Each structure stands twice: as C-alpha cells, then as structure tokens.
C-alpha cells in the first residue's frame, strides 16, 4: 500500500501511491493518485490545484489539491509531511499552481501562489510503514489571496448528513498512467462509491491490511469500462467529486495498485470530507454556511487576469562596437594551479569593479576559497585585437559578500556578488566608463534588458568578440513557477535574484558558459540591474527553455556603498559620461610578467572551451550579437 503522491528526485519524476506492501512486491518511496482514459479540458475542473512540495533537501514531491477559498486550499496531510526519527515533520515549502490542465503548457496560463502555511490535522497518523493514513487531511494557506475567474473556482463542500454510497464520482490527477509514466495532462475517470463494510471485507479477505476502514474514510471502485482509472502514483490530495457536480466528497489518500501499470482489484480509499467540515470551518475561520463562504460560479464570466510580459520582438544576439559598452570588464582568474577561468564584470569607480562572487571563489573541502589572482581588461570588444587597445589592471583585492553561498554541486548561488579593487586607479575616457547604479525602489519586471559577454555561442565555442542580446525581465514568481514545474531546482528564487527570458526569435541568446559576473543593463541606458549568476541550458549549444537568473543589484546598494566607502548619491560617486570625449590613453603597467598575463587571455578562452562542465551553468555567455 502506498500514498497518492509523486516524488521528484534528480530531475526525474518518480511517482507512487499509498499501495500495500505485498510479499516480493517492491514499491517506490513515493505516493500519488493518477487517472487514465479521459483528458480534462481547460476550465473543466477549475478548483484543481497542482502542488509541488519540497519535503527535505533533494526530496521533492507532487500532489493534487482543491481550491477552497481565496486564501485556502485542501489536500492530504501526507502530501505535506514526512517521517523522521518516528516523528512527523512538516515539508520545507510548497507551491500551488491553478487554472491549468497541461503541465507543459505556457506558464502564462498558471495562477501561482507560494504556500505560506501548512495546517495538518492534529490527529493525522501514518501506520504500517507509512502505507496507511488516518485523518489524512490538511489545509494550505496561499501567500496572498487568489481571484476567482473562469479557470479558478472554489470547490463546493458537501452536506454533513450525506453518505454517497453507490453514487458515481470523478477522480482526477496528473499521476502515473497505464504506460508507467506520469501524465503532463490532467486526467480523470469515473468510479463508484461502495459501502465501507464491503470495502473492509474486500481488504480483509485479501489479508492486505490489519487496520479498519473507518467512517472517516470513503472507498471507490472503478467501472468495468475504466479498469485502470483511479488512484495511482502521483496525485494524493486531489479531490473526489460527485459526477456532474462541483461537490467534493473525498481527498485521495491511499490504495493498492500494480506499481508498473496502475491496474488494481482493490478499492481506492479517500478521506471522507463530511467528517471534517467542523475542522475546516474552525481553521479557515469562516462559517461554511455563511454569506462569506465562496460559492462556485463566483466571477465565472471573468477571464483570469494573468499579467503577461510585454514581449515585442527583441533583437538577435549582436556583435558590439568599440565603446558601445565602455563599462564592460573581461576578467581572467586563476583559481588554483592550472585552473583558470574567464568572467565578465563592470567598472564601478576608478578603483573598483563589480562581478559575481562565484567567479572569484572555488569550493575545497566544503570551504569557500578565494582565487589566487585575477586580472581586469577594459576598453576592448575583441579579445584578439591589438593589446595596446586594452586598459589593464591587476586585481589587488577581492571582496566577496559575507553571506555568499553555493549549493547543489555549484549550480545554485545566494548573494552572488563581489567587488574587485584595481591595483591602481583607472582613468575614465571614451572607451572606459563607470556603469550607472539603479534606484533601490525599482522592480524592473517586464522591462527590456541587455546582457553581454564573451562566452560560449551556439557553435559550442567561446567568442572572441563581445556579444550582446536583449531579453525581458519576468516576475520572480513566474520564474519560480517555471523551475518548479520543470522540477529543476529545490531552492527558492529569492527577492535578491532577478530572472530574464529570451524571445522566440532569440532562443540561444542569454546565459551560457563563460560570462558569469557580466552586467545586465536596462535597454537604451547605462543602468545595471543584474549580475550574471546561474541558469540551466544545453551545455553543447546554449539552447534553453528556462529563465536566466541574475543577482538583483538593487538589493545590494548599501553593501556596495559600505565596501567602496563613497555615498552612491554623493558628488564623489562617478557618473557615466565623465571624460567621455577624451581618447583613452592606455598606459601599460611595467611588469615583467605582463606578456604572460596577456597571453593567458587566449589560453583561458581555450580552457573555457574544454572545461564547460567545470565552469558550470553559473557562467553567462551570449551567442550571436557582436558588440
């Protein structure tokens, strides 16, 4: 026996449902209900919720649920909990997606809410090696209220005196089908409620369970024309509704199934909702029979208002012209012996530049270590151009944010920001200028932005020309939703991050291996809003379907000001355009090893090509537009 929830681990979807453990019958760790045969249409079950749950590190699950009110949803307790040292622990986080039927459909269709509170029934229990649940009911509270519309509606609660035996009911979910794989489409099947005594007798005769089918449970059997419909791995917590109504009578809890194709001969068991109406009313704080309890059909004629980014056609990746982005820095970093990297950065003041913390660090024995050395090249766009065009400075100090962290095998970073101090001041001129810092109160969602770098292109090789591409900033919740639905990351997109998407016309533009630390600037301005941090992509040609993630600069203005030692709003903070009419007078430092430093640029590019896996997804590179 197993619970109806679906596990997501190592980017693979594994599902399992509360099935009984049989001799020599191996089951997966996960639980869920899945229904086959019929595909739901958009808006057919507008109360349905798709839940993604992070129970513990690298232990993610998917479940179903139901919209209850503007602030609450209903699901199974076992979806939101796990057992540890004989204690029931709450999951770390959960996310609710509404208004959808196709998990692979456009994310703009999703109504998304972070779950801010999980309320598990006080007498919830798991027995029999987590294969049998009592009081398997829970509420989820949304971070902020939803608005009812054509695709999102509250489910109807039943009358307490109803029993429902022999009535036809509908089960629904995204769980495993007869193929052995979970479904991207919301599926449903018709079943029939049976008397609990008959259900108990069925299981006792099979000697499958030693516990009672209580009056707080409800059993259903599939019809002859739907032998594989009903509960299977992947959709615990989903609603059981009376056929041709919007009334919920059960919450998917457990069943016994064939783990390979979802066939079954035993009833599916649901939590009986009528037994928990008082509990729901108490926790939600609204009388179920009062005027304030939402009714199915509220604002049904309103089209769901999902804020879409304004996505006009954006440019392809283009080569840069000399002086087009005069704040751009090319950084070569020696992290340890024979381990060189290339990153981007931005000129901040005469003494400081801005980049990503992961560019200047590496992990050793679970400790974050500083790179051995770094060198900054400014005023250039062509790495193969004459070296007398470069303004070069050795980096004398690397200042990493004190709360910088890297997780998940170096593919996810927090507080990914750092300053580099030049060995001696630079002089501003036509090809070298300070970047403009943003105002702290700006959000930038839907704005067009430009990213830039010398990283890997669609050819699989890094570029010797500075390239740039235009993207669009998206809302962090949309970004989180995109990654959660893909089950790619188990961490949150925080308010200190900023996400961008490329347009359909520029599928290879944006982040790729080789230009972490480079600036993201508002289009047609010199204002930096982000620092290239991490993304997920095809490591061979930079194609991607997920957003690029940048460090959000507005969240670190106080930190920058503190470290640089100059008020950002004072007259002493340099402004873009300082000495812009002056031709750069490139004075090369008198260093015996300068030739070695310059030649290392070409060597680093070569190493970048060979070490894309070492550089990891955290390095941003743009692919076709030359600056």
625: left (phi over 0), alpha (psi -120 to 50) or beta: beta
CA dihedral 405, 407, 413, 416 (to 10 degrees): 30
What token pair was written down for 516? 């972490």
496: left (phi over 0), alpha (psi -120 to 50) or beta: alpha
Is residue 472 within 8 A of residue 501, CB to CB? The reply is: yes
Q: Out of 60, 516, 616, 623, which one is annotated catalytic?
A: 516
What token pair was written down for 145? 């209220």
Residue of 417, 471, 416, 425 whose CA lies nearest to 447:
471
Residue of 621, 185, 615 whose CA lies nearest to 411:
615
Q: Out of 268, 416, 515, 548, which one is annotated catalytic?
A: 416
Residue of 415, 471, 481 whose CA lies nearest to 445:
471
CA atoms within a 13 Å half-sphere pointing along the CA-CB vector of 182:
28
C-alpha 488, offset from chain centre: 7
- Let me know if 558 is a catalytic residue: no
Residue of 271, 98, 267 whose CA lies nearest to 186:
98
Name the strand (E) or helix (H) holding 477: helix 476-486
Residue of 465, 502, 504 whose CA lies nearest to 627:
465
**Which residue, chain included where needed, has tokens 């059981």?**
240
Is residue 46 within 8 A of residue 132, CB to CB? The reply is: no
Q: Out of 78, 95, 121, 358, which one is annotated catalytic?
A: 358
Name the strand (E) or helix (H) holding 405: strand 405-407
Sign of CA dihedral 258, 261, 267, 268: positive
Residue of 364, 326, 329, 366 whose CA lies nearest to 344:
329
What token pair was written down for 245? 């109504």
C-alpha distances (whole Å) from 340 to each of 245, 343, 390, 392, 494 are: 65, 10, 20, 18, 30
How deeply is 21 buried, as exposed, middle or buried, from its count of CB atoms within 10 A (0-12, 13-18, 19+)?
middle
Is residue 335 within 8 A of residue 347, CB to CB? The reply is: no
What token pair was written down for 582? 């002056």
| Distance between CA atoms of residues 536 and 544, nearest Å | 7
| Distance between CA atoms of residues 329 and 429, nearest Å | 14
Residue of 377, 425, 374 whose CA lies nearest to 395:
374
Is residue 63 within 8 A of residue 5, CB to CB? The reply is: yes
- Let me know if 358 is a catalytic residue: yes
DSSP 8-state code for residue 306: P
Alpha helices in 145-285 (DSSP H): 196-206, 277-284
- Let me know if 516 is a catalytic residue: yes
| Helix/strand/coil for 562 | helix
Cβ neighbour number for residue 558 with a 10 Å cutoff: 10
Name the residues annotated as catalytic.
Answer: 358, 416, 516
């Amino acid at each position: 026996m197993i619970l109806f929830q679906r596990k997501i681990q190592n980017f693979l979807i594994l599902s399992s449902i509360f099935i009984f453990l049989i001799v020599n019958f191996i089951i997966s760790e996960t639980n869920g209900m899945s229904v086959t045969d019929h595909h739901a249409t958009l808006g057919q079950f507008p109360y349905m919720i798709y839940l993604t749950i992070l129970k513990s590190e690298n232990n993610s699950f998917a479940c179903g649920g139901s919209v209850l009110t503007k602030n609450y949803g209903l699901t199974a307790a076992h979806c939101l909990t796990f057992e540890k040292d004989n204690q029931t622990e709450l999951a770390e986080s959960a996310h609710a997606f509404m208004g959808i039927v196709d998990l692979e459909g456009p994310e703009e269709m999703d109504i998304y809410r972070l779950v801010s509170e999980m309320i598990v029934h006080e007498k919830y229990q798991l027995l029999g090696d987590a294969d049998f649940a009592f009081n398997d009911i829970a509420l989820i509270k949304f971070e902020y209220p939803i608005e009812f519309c054509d695709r999102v509606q509250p489910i109807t609660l039943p009358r307490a005196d109803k029993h429902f035996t022999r009535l036809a009911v509908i089960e629904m979910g995204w769980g495993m089908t007869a193929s052995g794989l979970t479904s991207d489409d919301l599926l449903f099947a018709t079943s029939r409620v049976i008397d609990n005594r008959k259900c108990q007798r069925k299981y006792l005769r099979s000697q499958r369970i030693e516990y009672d089918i209580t009056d707080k449970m409800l059993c259903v059997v599939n019809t002859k024309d739907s032998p594989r419909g009903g509960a299977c791995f992947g959709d615990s917590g989903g609603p059981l509704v009376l056929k041709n109504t919007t009334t919920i009578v059960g919450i998917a809890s457990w069943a016994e199934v064939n783990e390979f194709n979802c066939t079954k001969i035993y009833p599916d068991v649901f939590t009986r909702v009528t037994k928990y109406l008082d509990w729901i009313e108490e926790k939600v704080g609204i009388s179920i029979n009062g005027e304030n309890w939402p009714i199915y059909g509220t604002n049904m004629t309103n089209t769901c208002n999902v804020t879409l980014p304004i996505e006009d056609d954006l440019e392809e990746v283009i080569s840069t012209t000399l002086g087009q982005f005069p704040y751009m820095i090319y950084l070569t970093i020696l992290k340890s012996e024979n381990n060189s990297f290339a990153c981007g950065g931005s000129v901040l003041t005469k003494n400081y530049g801005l980049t990503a913390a992961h560019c200047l660090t590496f992990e050793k024995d679970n400790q974050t270590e500083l790179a051995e050395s770094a060198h900054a090249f400014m005023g250039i766009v062509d790495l193969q151009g004459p070296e007398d065009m470069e303004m070069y400075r050795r980096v004398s100090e690397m200042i990493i944010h004190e709360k910088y962290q890297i997780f998940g095998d170096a593919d996810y970073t927090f507080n990914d920001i750092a300053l580099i101090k030049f060995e001696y001041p630079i002089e501003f001129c036509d090809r070298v200028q300070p970047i403009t810092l943003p105002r702290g109160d700006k959000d930038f969602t839907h704005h067009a932005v430009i990213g830039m770098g010398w990283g890997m292109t669609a050819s699989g090789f890094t570029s010797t020309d500075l390239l740039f591409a235009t993207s669009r900033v998206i809302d962090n919740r949309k970004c989180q939703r995109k990654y959660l639905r893909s089950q790619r990351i188990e961490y949150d997109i925080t308010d200190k991050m900023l996400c961008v998407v490329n347009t359909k016309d520029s599928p290879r533009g944006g982040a790729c291996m080789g230009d972490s630390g480079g600036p993201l600037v508002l289009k047609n301005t010199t204002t930096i809003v982000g620092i290239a941090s991490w993304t997920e992509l095809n490591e061979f040609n930079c194609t991607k379907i997920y957003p690029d993630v940048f460090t959000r600069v507005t969240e670190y203005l106080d930190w920058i000001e503190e470290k640089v030692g100059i008020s950002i709003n004072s007259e002493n903070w340099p402004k873009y355009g300082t000495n812009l009419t002056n031709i750069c007078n490139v004075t090369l430092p008198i260093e015996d090893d300068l030739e070695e430093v310059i030649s290392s640029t070409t060597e680093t590019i070569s190493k970048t090509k060979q070490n894309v896996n070492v550089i990891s997804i955290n390095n941003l590179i743009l692919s076709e537009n030359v600056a």
